[in-house]
Structure 1
Amino acid sequence: MTVRIMVHATIKEEHREPFEEAYRQVTETVRGTPGHLRDQLIRDTESPNTYILLAEWESEEAFRAWEDDPVHRQMAAPMYPYWADGGIVRKIFDVRATLDSQPA
């Protein structure tokens, strides 16, 4: 069963652009990791220092294998300087249903 990893992050205003660039670097590095399907970075329109990072993985086991691998910290390192005062929350969600509005 696919899972979505949601990371809620608060980024200092002066760090928003460098954080977004670091995110792009990290996603390029993660691309091709076994079990990884896709990533999205979304920003709150009413609170622009608030971001949600969404990652889709084939399974929770695949995500945890990557997360527990020492290479995980190395891959994600470009984003670490931008977490504002540890203001991140990570959650794992099972995908229970999907509705696609556009035909495949």
Structure 2
Amino acid sequence: MTGEVRVLVRHVADSAEAIEHAYRTVSEELAGVAGMLGNELLRDVHDDRVFVVLSRWRDLAAFRTWEAGAAHRASTSPLRPFRDRAAARPFEVLHVTAAY
């Protein structure tokens, strides 16, 4: 598959300030990663403890290259304590099939 992908990672936090700090730390670490187009921290409007980090990638190959790299785990470690462990799979990798 070619084209952009989105990666969504679900988190749960009692402290918005704590996850926002972790998100900023990770975002600064990832600035300039080849193929990453940007990211956002989203907050659930129904449950203010639930957050989703949405990252945008040039293509699946760029995401997989970064994910397989040695720096991946260290650079995202500040967010790891907030990962939603209750979900069967706390993340999704989605191919953009249409956009308007």
When normalised by structure 1's length, the TM-score is: 0.84
- Secondary structure at 2:7 match in 1: strand
Do 2:4 and 2:96's aligned partners in 1 also have CA atoms closer than 8 Å? yes
Aligned to 2:95: 94
Distance 2:94 2:53 in 1: 13
Higher strand share: 1
- State which structure, 1 or 2, has the greater radius of gyration over its C-alpha atoms: 1
Moved over 2 A (4+): 81-84
Q: Do residues 56 (structure 1) and 38 (structure 2) align?
A: no
Q: CA RMSD in A?
A: 1.4
Query: How many equivalent residue pairs?
Result: 96
What 5-or-longer segments of structure 2 have no aligned partner? none
Question: Which structure is higher in helix share?
Answer: 1
* Counterparts of 2:58 and 2:30, CA distance in 1: 14
1:4-60 CA distances to partner (integer Å, 9 max, x unpaired)?
A: 00112222x1x3311111101101110100000010110011100111110000111
Q: Counterpart of 2:91 in structure 1: which amino acid? A: R
Equivalent position SS for 1:78:
coil
Change (3 A) 1:87 1:24: farther
How far residue 90 of structure 1 moved from its aligned partner, in angstroms, is: 0.8
Give the TM-score normalised by the residue count of structure 2. Answer: 0.87
Describe how 1:1-104 pairs up with structure 2 within 5 A.
Answer: 1-11=3-13, 13=14, 15-83=15-83, 86-87=85-86, 89-99=90-100
